[in-house]
Amino acid sequence: MIYTVEKEDLKIGVSACLIGEKVRYDGGSKTSDFCNLELANHVVFKSFCPEVAIGLPIPRPTIRQIKKNDMITVARPDGSGDVTEALQAYGKKVASMTKDLSGYIFCAKSPSCGMERVKVFNPEGNALPSKGVGLFAQEIMAANPLLPCEENGRLIDPILRENFVARVYAYKHWQTVEASGLTKHKLTTFHSQYKYTVMSHDLVAYKNLGQLLARADLPLADMAQQYIAGLMAALTIIATRKKHANTLAHIQGYFSKHLQSDERQELCKQIDSYREGLIPLFVPLTLINHYLLRYPKEYLTKQAYLSPYPDELKLRYAY
> Which residues make up the interface to ligand SF4 (CB under 6 A)?
15-17, 23-24, 49-51, 107, 110, 112-113
- Shortest separation between residue 23's beta carbon and ligand SF4, angstroms: 5
- Shortest separation between residue 55's beta carbon and ligand SF4, angstroms: 12
- Shortest separation between residue 162's beta carbon and ligand SF4, angstroms: 24
CB-nearer residue toward ligand SF4: 17 or 234? 17
- Shortest separation between residue 35's beta carbon and ligand SF4, angstroms: 12
Torsion angle, alpha carbons of 171, 221, 233, 16, to 10:
40
Return d(Cα 81, Cα 79) in angstroms, integer. 7
Strands (E), the chain: 11-15, 44-48, 64-68, 71-75, 103-106, 118-121, 127-132, 149-151
CB-nearer residue toward ligand SF4: 50 or 148? 50
Residue 173 near residue 304, CB atoms below 8 Å = yes
- Shortest separation between residue 87's beta carbon and ligand SF4, angstroms: 9
CB-nearer residue toward ligand SF4: 5 or 16? 16
CB-nearer residue toward ligand SF4: 23 or 231? 23
> What residues are paired with 120 via a beta bridge?
65
Q: 48, 55, 163: which is closest to 95 by C-alpha?
A: 48
Return d(Cα 316, Cα 167) in angstroms, integer. 14
The upper half-sphere exposure of residue 87, i.e. CA atoms within 13 Å in the direction of its Cβ, equals: 26
CB-nearer residue toward ligand SF4: 24 or 244? 24
- Shortest separation between residue 144's beta carbon and ligand SF4, angstroms: 17
CB-nearer residue toward ligand SF4: 87 or 304? 87
CB-nearer residue toward ligand SF4: 113 or 228? 113
Angstrom distances, CA of residue 171 to CA of 61, 141, 145, 157, 275: 38, 15, 12, 21, 28
- Shortest separation between residue 54's beta carbon and ligand SF4, angstroms: 9
Q: Specify burial of residue 271 (Cβ count, 10 A radius: 0-12, 13-18, 19+).
A: buried
Phi, psi values for residue 48, rounded to 5°: -140, 135
| 127-132 vs 149-151, strand pairing mode | unpaired
